[in-house]
Amino acid sequence: METGLEDTQDKIESSVVDIVFDIEGKAIPEDNSSALWREVLRHLPWLEQEKHAGIHPLQAAPSDYGMLLLTRRTKLVLRVAQAHVAAAMELTGRQLDIGDNVLRVGSGKVRPLPVFGTIYAHFVDMGSADETQFARHLARRLEEMKIQTKFICGKRQALHTDQGVVSGFSLMLYDLTPAQSILLQEIGLGANRKLGCGIFIPHKSIAAIMA
């Protein structure tokens, strides 16, 4: 679904950006969210107090033995306030120990949040493993935000954290206005944002949610 909203990018100013870091490494466990957050926090302790800061899920190739294989295209992406870009860049050159695996963080580039009428999150935690309850909680939250939009719940997801297993769903929101698109990317939806949940990225088609 083409939205045409990307043409309005220069008309929308966001206080939040993504910082895209190159990383070097071979593999990491599939359940890496908690360990990755702990390691990033070790180097950037101020992130703990940043309500809307988040770490995008790492994009890597799955294996048959519980590991994700890193490629040259795998990036570490932090979503932070523009005011903290310089502080976040201090992650450059640091080493992240994820279990028995080592990631070395390279240079980072700032990427503004793009304006798309369709956005997607791989995992949204609304506090329920039941799809009907999930949709009900989601609709209530969107109503609180005064956002009228359409959504599609995708596959049920499970995330292993230090506090136990968290359940949620992938989620597509579409027919958003430019302002709504930016707002939802800035603050996300649901809990566990620092573990990669509720972080939206633009998408041109609703087909991804069905995959």
Residue-wise pLDDT tens for the chain (211 aa)? 444 454 444 457 799 999 999 999 999 999 899 999 999 999 999 999 998 899 999 999 988 888 999 998 999 999 999 999 999 999 999 999 998 999 999 999 999 999 999 999 999 999 999 999 999 999 999 999 999 999 999 999 999 888 889 999 999 999 999 999 999 999 999 999 999 999 999 987 555 444 4
For the entire predicted model, the pTM comes to: 0.88
* Domain covering 15-112: architecture: 2-Layer Sandwich (3.30)
Q: What is the fold, at CATH topology level, of the domain defined by 5-9+114-210? A: Alpha-Beta Plaits (3.30.70)
Res 12: pLDDT: 75
Count of CB atoms situated within 10 Å of the CB of 91: 20
Task: For 133-155, give one letter per residue: b (16+ CB within 10 A) or e.
Answer: ebbebbeeebeeeebebebbbbe
Asked if 106 and 23 count as a contact pair (C-beta separation under 8 A), the reply is yes
Res 122: pLDDT: 94
> Residues spanned by CATH 3.30.70.1890 within the chain?
15-112
Asked if 191 and 201 count as a contact pair (C-beta separation under 8 A), the reply is no
> Residues spanned by CATH 3.30.70.1210 within the chain?
5-9+114-210
